[in-house]
Structure 1
Amino acid sequence: MQDRRHVLTPDALLMMDTIARTGSFAAAARELGKVPSALTYSVRQLEDALDVLLFDRRSRQARLTTAGEELLREGRLLLQQMAAVANRVQRVASGWEAELTIAVDKAMAPHAIFDLMEAFYALKPPTRLRMRSEVMTGTWEALTTGKADLAIGVPADRVVGSDMRQELIGEFKFIFAVAPHHPLAAEPGPLSPAEIARHRIIAVADTAQGLTPMTVGILPGQDVLTLPSMSAKLEAQLRGLGCGYLPEPMLRPYLDQGRLVHKPVTGPERLIRSFYAWRQPSAQPGLGLTWWLHQLASPTTRRALLERHEGLLL
């Protein structure tokens, strides 16, 4: 008996598909450019190797058995997958990366990121996307350690080497806000650090592992609730679990609805500059990275990354 792996060839699967589609061995033989006896012999070899009957010999037509139907169904999937692999290999050879990893800071607007992914996939690229969700220094660390090819939302202008490039996305205005039922909501402003320090602050954990994590807005001795994302921080502040700073575009609808209250604080405005960065390859960058960099160069895209926070994903 032949090895089953050796008989399940693309030609054998195509033969099964053609017989089932045309409805007879004779018609399939004409389409495949073979004589009917050769086709019959090939089917018997396949049946012997698999130790099953693929066609009902009692029928004058090429009627599949249950086993034949299963082989046809799986065989068609395999043929599609092989065609897809061949297409991917061809396109990768033309300059597309096999995989592109993008680290996105959780302060970036999720709608804008999904819009970019949707537009990218509309190109039907062979490149697989891998998205990493990071916070503050962790976004930069993912790039510098080689875990990401592109970082979106690096929270500060970084000292870069000759192989690194960065461009400004824009500037976030962070404002201090609390729920209407939070004790600080009734305090006259502007709030001093001493007043804020008496209340729990909501913080987002920096995802950096090797680099020194950033700590923003936490006062000495202050109680802290640390959460994994900006959207979780927003939910906590909506529930009155604490106070804290959030990007103004993210807060805007909740301030308009009266679900959060903006409380002025003493001191200068808190403005955070956000960048995107990438490792500049020695050769021409792949077409996938080139496409993303082209989109990020657009003022419209940059504005959307800062502003489009409606319907946050928690």
Structure 2
Amino acid sequence: MQGLQQLVAFAETAKRGSFAAAARELGSAPSTLAKAVARLEDSLGVKLFHRTTRQVNLTADGERLFARCQRVLSEVEDLHAEASGTRARPSGLLRVDLPIVYGRVVLLPVLGQLVQRHPELKLDVRLHDSYTDLIRDGIDLAVRVGPLADSQLVARRFAQQQMVLCASPEYLRRHGTPERIDQLHEHAAVVHRMPSSGRLRPWRLTPRGQTIEIEPASRVQISDGEGMAQAALQGLGLTQLPDYMVAQALGEGRLVEVLPTARPPADPISVVVPRSRHLPARVRVAVDALVTLGRAQGDESLRAPSSRRA
């Protein structure tokens, strides 16, 4: 068991980036964790951390061990829950990684209801649009939009995102409504500047069944989808946004869809979890809740979902 305790000390320190933060999480003393990690390094004959006075960073050997021990510790946790008879009851801390707007608007209400139904369940939600390493950061599940590359994750599609090109009625009255794609260059555009790369996201459209990308002449560049919607509502130009962000404004007539017959194919929305033989109850009920959400939204492709590698 001493070796297991050393792995726990190492893994928590790797996740938190310091012995002090890991000690607060584990209810221990920083010196106790530092000694446990030092003993682990001695027993393995490798250096696991680069240490400074304020933080620690994984070495190459530490990175490899961390990836492996995360899976081992997850298995141990599941075995303990199963042996104690609590595996079937959702409990503990559910760590979730969600896209900012879709997570806040669509998913948080679902997860909130989940916590209300299961009093022993706790929720830790991280909202951002960049991809995180689930295993390294100790994330139980993440929701990702778009095609998924092969990895050591298991994915289950539960919904889809449709991109909609739209503008305010006022803008269209002043500048006219484009009826062909080649007329778009005559219009002002509100475009998305991707925070991770700084690049401008092109518009995707599918005229006559062939998807193309257009880089419009941007009048306004914004790194936040809700800000883009607000700019479009103010009449600053055409913009392309996910349907869930503009559905209410479209329904109320405050925005109007442009070139609806050239909508691009919908992007899949998937829940991904680390690959494991035993899925903890807290994760299982969350995945089931998201799949139920997708069915309620009428995505017929979800009638017989199956797990696949992400």
Q: What TM bracket, shorter-length normalisation?
A: 0.5 to 0.7
User: What is the aligned partner in structure 1 of residue 259 from structure 2?
Assistant: 264
Match of 1:252 among 222, 247, 252: 247
Residue 149 of structure 1 pairs with residue 144 of structure 2: no
Provide the rounded CA distance (Å) in 2 between the counterparts of 1:286 and 1:178.
45
User: What is the aligned partner in structure 1 of residue 93 from structure 2?
Assistant: 99
Matches within 5 A, 1:147-186: 148-152=139-143, 154-161=144-151, 163-182=152-171, 186=175
Instruction: After superposition, give the CA deviation of every residue in 1:23-57 in whole Å (9 maximum; x if it has no partner).
Output: xxxxxxxxxxxxxxxxxxxxxxxxxxxxxxxxxxx
Residue 128 of structure 1 pairs with residue 118 of structure 2: no
One-letter amino acid of the structure 2 residue matched with residue 215 of structure 1: R
Q: How many residues align?
A: 207
C-alpha contact (below 8 Å) 2:94/2:140 kept by paired residues: yes
Provide the rounded CA distance (Å) in 1 between the counterparts of 2:139 and 2:186.
37
Matches within 5 A, 1:274-293: 274-293=268-287
Matches within 5 A, 1:17-96: 94-95=86-87
User: What is the aligned partner in structure 2 of residue 115 from structure 1?
Assistant: 109
Cα 1:242–1:214 shift into 2, 3 Å? closer
User: 1:301: how far off?
Assistant: 5.5
- Which sections of structure 1, spanning at least 5 residues, go unmatched? 1-89, 306-314
Provide the rounded CA distance (Å) in 2 between the counterparts of 1:142 and 1:213.
23
Cα 1:227–1:131 shift into 2, 3 Å? farther
- Which sections of structure 2, spanning at least 5 residues, go unmatched? 1-79, 204-212, 300-310
User: 1:197: how far off?
Assistant: 6.4
Instruction: After superposition, give the CA deviation of every residue in 1:205-228 in whole Å (9 maximum; x if it has no partner).
Output: 54547xx98834284472263434
Residue 215 of structure 1 pairs with residue 201 of structure 2: yes
Provide the rounded CA distance (Å) in 1 between the counterparts of 2:162 and 2:147.
16
One-letter amino acid of the structure 2 residue matched with residue 238 of structure 1: L
User: What is the aligned partner in structure 2 of residue 68 from structure 1?
Assistant: none
One-letter amino acid of the structure 2 residue matched with residue 276 of structure 1: S
User: 1:182: how far off?
Assistant: 1.8
User: What is the aligned partner in structure 1 of residue 25 from structure 2?
Assistant: none
Residue 231 of structure 1 pairs with residue 226 of structure 2: yes
TM-score using structure 2 length: 0.54
User: What is the aligned partner in structure 2 of residue 189 from structure 1?
Assistant: 178
More strand by share: 2
- Give the SS at the match of 2:282: helix
Cα 1:268–1:215 shift into 2, 3 Å? same
C-alpha contact (below 8 Å) 1:165/1:278 kept by paired residues: yes
- Give the SS at the match of 2:297: helix
- Give the SS at the match of 2:164: strand
One-letter amino acid of the structure 2 residue matched with residue 146 of structure 1: D
C-alpha contact (below 8 Å) 1:142/1:151 kept by paired residues: no
Cα 1:245–1:120 shift into 2, 3 Å? same
Cα 1:251–1:282 shift into 2, 3 Å? closer
Provide the rounded CA distance (Å) in 2 between the counterparts of 1:177 and 1:121.
36
Provide the rounded CA distance (Å) in 2 between the counterparts of 1:291 and 1:119.
11
Match of 1:199 among 188, 202, 218: 188
Cα 1:206–1:220 shift into 2, 3 Å? closer
Cα 1:197–1:256 shift into 2, 3 Å? same
Cα 1:250–1:127 shift into 2, 3 Å? same
CA RMSD, Structure 1 to Structure 2 (Å): 3.7
User: What is the aligned partner in structure 2 of residue 73 from structure 1?
Assistant: none
C-alpha contact (below 8 Å) 2:167/2:256 kept by paired residues: yes
